[in-house]
């Protein structure tokens, strides 16, 4: 089968990264977690105390930052200027700031360029919010993966609980809904289904079934 480019977009907690990782493993494709790149930029903004309203400082950071993804079989390690931030970018603080940073055009320009370069060779699965609409409008397979807020919040709740978090299901549902709202209503590259993306609602599917459904769509295209 020829090496395809696969775009998976959708809201938080839909299972994009977990399913994309599984499918990439099965096909020996490269998995590119674009959300991790926005998280890494946000981490650097906080670390360097860059004010989000200081456009010159944001521009300077965008011009100088080195964000690198190192895809492994079961995860994607993330580095900022050679410092590993794989775990550090998953905190609650980063989750609550990332959508404001991702709304900045200068940040998107920088990261979209990087994502396109990484996808050049094909045999890649990218997941994010604007892959099918902006980053790779000519992707071979485009999927918009979504689920109800209730199921997405429950998944995140179980995931966070396993990590020792004391956040309630309500807290998580509120923060997911707020992020959905910001991501869908921003001026630049808002979260939306590309006209030619296949809608996959996995509210009633588990992770394996979701990965199987995505595999079927890819294999159909690759024939
Ligand atoms: O994993 P989770 O769904 O929590 O989010 P993520 O994929 O790590 O993305 C974090 C945030 O980055 C999103 O809420 C968006 O604000 C932003 N993002 C984006 O704007 N465009 C992308 N292609 C990927 C992420
Ligand atoms: O990347 P995204 O924010 O779309 O979601 P994720 O981080 O891949 O998935 C969030 C959580 O939901 C993970 O713990 C997955 O294992 C879980 N999940 C699930 O329980 N059922 C699914 N159908 C998909 C994901």
Show the 3-state SS of 57-126. HHHHHHHHCCEEEEECCCCEEEEECCEECCCHHHCHHHHHHHHHHHCCHHHHHHHHHHHHHHHCCCCEEE
Mutational pocket test of ligand 2: of 15, 19, 175, the residue with most ligand atoms within 8 Å of the beta carbon: 15
Evaluated on CA atoms 210, 211, 214, 215, the torsion sign reads: negative
From the CA of 17, the nearest ligand is 2
Q: Name the fold adopted by 5-212.
A: Rossmann fold (3.40.50)
Please tell me the distance between residue 159's alpha carbon and the centre of ligand 2 in angstroms: 8
Q: Identify the pLDDT of residue 112.
A: 98
Q: Identify the pLDDT of residue 1.
A: 77
Please tell me the distance between residue 38's alpha carbon and the centre of ligand 1 in angstroms: 7
Q: Identify the pLDDT of residue 93.
A: 94
Decide: 84 and 76 in contact? Cβ < 8 Å.
Answer: no
Nearest CA owner, ligand 2 atom 19: 207
Q: Identify the pLDDT of residue 72.
A: 76
Whether the predicted model's global pTM rises above the 0.75 cut: yes
180 lines ligand 1 (CB under 6 A): no
How far apart CA 169 and CA 158 sit, in angstroms, is: 9
190 lines ligand 1 (CB under 6 A): no
Q: Identify the pLDDT of residue 179.
A: 92
For helices 55-64 and 105-119, give the axis angle rounded to 10 degrees.
Answer: 20
| Nearest ligand 1 atom to alpha carbon 11 | 3
Nearest CA owner, ligand 1 atom 23: 128
102 lines ligand 1 (CB under 6 A): yes
Q: Identify the pLDDT of residue 75.
A: 73
In this structure, the residues whose C-beta lies within 6 A of any atom of ligand 2 are 10, 12-18, 155-156, 159, 202, 205-207, 210
| Nearest ligand 1 atom to alpha carbon 135 | 23
Q: Identify the pLDDT of residue 73.
A: 65
Tens-of-pLDDT digits for all 223 residues of the chain? 789 999 999 999 999 999 999 999 999 999 999 999 999 999 999 999 999 999 999 999 999 999 999 987 667 899 999 999 999 999 989 999 999 999 999 999 999 999 999 999 999 999 999 999 999 999 999 999 999 999 999 999 999 999 898 999 999 999 999 999 999 999 999 999 999 999 999 999 999 999 999 999 999 988 6
Please tell me the distance between residue 218's alpha carbon and the centre of ligand 2 in angstroms: 20
């Amino acid at each position: 089968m020829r090496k395809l480019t696969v775009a998976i977009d959708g809201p938080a907690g839909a299972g994009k990264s977990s399913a994309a990782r599984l499918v990439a493993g099965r096909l020996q494709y490269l998995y590119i977690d674009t959300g991790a790149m926005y998280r890494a930029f946000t981490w650097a903004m906080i670390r360097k105390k860059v004010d989000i309203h200081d456009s010159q400082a944001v521009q300077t950071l965008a011009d100088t930052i080195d964000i690198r993804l190192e895809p492994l079989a079961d995860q994607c390690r993330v580095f900022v200027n050679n410092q590993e931030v794989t775990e550090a970018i998953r905190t609650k603080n980063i989750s609550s700031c990332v959508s404001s940073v991702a709304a900045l055009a200068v940040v998107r320009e920088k990261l979209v360029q990087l994502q396109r370069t990484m996808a050049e060779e094909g045999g890649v699965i990218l997941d994010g919010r604007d892959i099918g609409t902006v980053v790779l409008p000519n992707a071979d397979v485009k999927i918009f993966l979504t689920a109800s807020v209730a199921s997405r919040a429950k998944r995140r709740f179980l995931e966070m609980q396993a990590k020792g978090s004391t956040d309630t299901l309500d807290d998580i549902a509120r923060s997911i809904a707020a992020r959905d709202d910001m991501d869908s209503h921003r001026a630049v590259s808002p979260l939306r289904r590309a006209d030619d993306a296949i809608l996959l609602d996995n509210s009633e599917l588990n992770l394996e079934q979701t990965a199987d459904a995505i595999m079927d769509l890819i294999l159909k295209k690759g024939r």
